[in-house]
Amino acid sequence: MMNEISRRRLIGTLGAAATLGGLRPAAAQSDRRYTIYMITWRGWEDASQGFRDYLERRNLAIDFIVRDCSQTATTIPDFVAEAKQLRPDLLYTWGTTTALNVFGRLGEVDPERHITDIPSVFNIVSTPVEGGLVAALDQPRPNLTGALYLVPVETQLRTMSAYGPVAKVGMVYNALEENSRLTVEAVANEGQRQGFATISLDVPLDGTGAPDLAALPGRVAQLKAEGADWLYIPPDSFLNVNRDVLTGSARDVGLPSFAGAENFIRASHGLVGLVSRYYNVGQYVGYLAEQILVDGKSPGDFAIRNLDRFSLIVNMATAHQLEFYPPLSMLAIAEFV
**Confidence class for position 334, pLDDT limits 50, 70, 90:** confident
281 pLDDT higher than 80: yes
Q: For the domain 153-275+312-336, what is the CATH superfamily, name and number? A: Response regulator (3.40.50.2300)
Per the prediction, the chain carries an average pLDDT of 89
Strands 272-275 and 230-233, how do they pair? Answer: unpaired
Please write the tens of the pLDDT for every residue from 314-331: 999 999 999 999 998 888
- CA of residue 290 relative to chain centroid, distance: 22
Instruction: Identify the architecture of domain 17-149+278-307 in CATH.
Output: 3-Layer(aba) Sandwich (3.40)
Phi and psi at residue 255, to the nearest 5°: -110, 110
Tell me if 17-149+278-307 shares its fold with 153-275+312-336: yes
Residue 30 confidence (pLDDT): 54
Give me the residue spans of the domains in the chain: 17-149+278-307, 153-275+312-336
**How many CA atoms lie within 13 Å of 14's alpha carbon, on the beta-carbon side?**
29
Question: Mapping DSSP to helix (H, G, I), strand (E, B) and coil, where does residue 128 land?
Answer: coil
pLDDT confidence of residue 179: 80
Please report the pLDDT score of residue 15 as a whole number. 38
Q: What is the pLDDT of residues 5-32, one digit of tens each?
A: 333 334 333 333 334 444 554 444 557 8
Q: State phi, psi for 199 to the nearest 5 degrees.
A: -130, 130
**Mean of pLDDT values over 127-148:** 94
